């Protein structure tokens, strides 16, 4: 049996984005989590959320998870017990985002004990995976968007993803046509509506956009609208991608059972960490649908390298933790010529800056009072 957990501690960092994702999305919140076992072993993980809810996530860890986990085995197998414990506050959302911080730390601890990276611990299947350039760019001018796509092409990306959902469909069509011209016929073009349409608007927009050759339409409707996605899937021929705002394997199963999705996109943090992500990946494999992890390439690639299928890795321009100055040291992941390679030598390799390291470019930290289960 693993040495019992002695303490779970947290630190909240506010990490400014180099370019805002929207007028009200100018930073991401990172809750750095450390799990210390009674034998002295340490694991480091994190929870993450853009702008909204970081303090709520930290409070869930400090007030509810840390006391519950103290004395339990320092092993990822405690995930299910912890999920049941916090389920009264919701099956997913703040609860699963909080669980992710602990789960990632426990996987990091397990890998460190064996002097392996997370990828090698799980069993490496790939030395490299294809990357698609991604941007939160609906608010970009057409010239800015085209310039961004040109940068991705020059960097070797074989696919790109852009945002759609302007009030006037004609604007979306002009933007997609301009991007397709830059890409040429042989690169993939994915489009993401970020839940901006209703069913009728999506039914009108998607066939028109499809004339420019799109590989998938991402989150065309509100993420909670299972019936709407199922109906939309019956109306269109373009593959539907979704999952960044689904929080449990049970919800992913609902969408798969309804025939509402062709590409599942779990965000490793939002679903609760490595443990549930691997279950979702297995479910996608059983149902023979594609898997494309959402965001967080420095983490997503580590898991994707260990999956039997080949997954696209999403790389949002100027948004990696290393680019934002949030990490103490590089993870070892390399993105170049359209491929993701490398990774950390041991554990997750994702150690975040200290609360006192406010001079690190692009990152600030918010110190807080001592946490339940240990000081921060």
Q: Which residues are catalytic?
A: 163, 294
Four-point Cα dihedral 238, 239, 245, 247, nearest 10 = 150
Helix, strand, coil percentages (3-state) for the chain, rounded to 5, are 35, 20, 40
* β partners of residue 30: 13, 48
**Which two three-digit tokens encode residue 66?**
């840390």
Cβ neighbours of residue 282 under 8 Å, at least 6 residues apart? none
Closest CA to 160 of 374, 331, 315: 315
**Which two three-digit tokens encode residue 180?**
């397709």
d(CA 131, CA 282): 22
Cβ neighbours of residue 5 under 8 Å, at least 6 residues apart? 35, 36, 37, 38, 69, 70, 71, 72, 73, 74, 78
């Amino acid at each position: 049996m693993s040495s019992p957990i002695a303490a779970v501690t947290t630190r909240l960092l506010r990490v400014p984005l180099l370019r805002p994702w929207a007028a009200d999305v100018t930073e991401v919140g990172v809750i750095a989590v450390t799990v210390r076992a009674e034998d002295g072993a340490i694991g480091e993980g994190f929870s993450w959320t853009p702008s909204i809810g970081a303090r709520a996530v930290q409070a869930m860890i400090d007030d509810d998870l840390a006391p519950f986990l103290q004395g339990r085995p320092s092993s990822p197998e405690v995930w299910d017990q912890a999920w049941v414990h916090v389920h009264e506050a919701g099956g997913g959302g703040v609860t699963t985002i909080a669980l992710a911080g602990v789960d990632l730390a426990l996987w990091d601890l397990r890998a460190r004990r064996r002097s392996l990276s997370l990828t090698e611990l799980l069993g490496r299947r790939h030395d490299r995976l294809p990357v698609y350039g991604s941007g939160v760019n609906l608010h970009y001018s057409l010239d800015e968007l085209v310039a961004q796509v040109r940068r991705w092409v020059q960097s070797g990306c074989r696919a790109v993803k852009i945002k759609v959902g302007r009030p006037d469909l004609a604007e979306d069509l002009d933007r997609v046509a301009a991007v397709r011209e830059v890409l040429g016929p042989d690169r993939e073009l994915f489009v993401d509506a970020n839940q901006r349409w209703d069913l009728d608007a999506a039914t009108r927009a998607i066939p028109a956009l499809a004339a420019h050759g799109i590989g998938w339409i991402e989150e065309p409707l509100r993420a909670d609208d299972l019936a709407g996605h199922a109906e939309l899937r019956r109306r269109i021929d373009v593959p539907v991608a979704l999952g960044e705002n689904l929080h449990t394997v049970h919800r992913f199963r609902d969408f798969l059972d309804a025939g509402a999705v062709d590409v599942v996109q779990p965000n490793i943090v939002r679903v609760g960490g490595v443990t549930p992500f691997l279950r979702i990946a297995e479910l996608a494999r059983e149902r023979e649908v594609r898997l494309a992890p959402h965001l967080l390439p420095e983490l997503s690639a580590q898991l994707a390298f260990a999956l039997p299928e080949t997954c696209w890795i999403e790389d949002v321009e100027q948004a990696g933790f290393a680019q934002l100055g949030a990490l103490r040291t590089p993870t070892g992941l390399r993105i170049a010529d359209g491929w993701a390679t490398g990774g950390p030598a041991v554990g997750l390799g994702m150690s975040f800056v200290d609360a006192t390291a406010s001079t690190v470019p692009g990152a600030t930290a918010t110190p807080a009072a001592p946490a339940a289960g240990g000081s921060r």
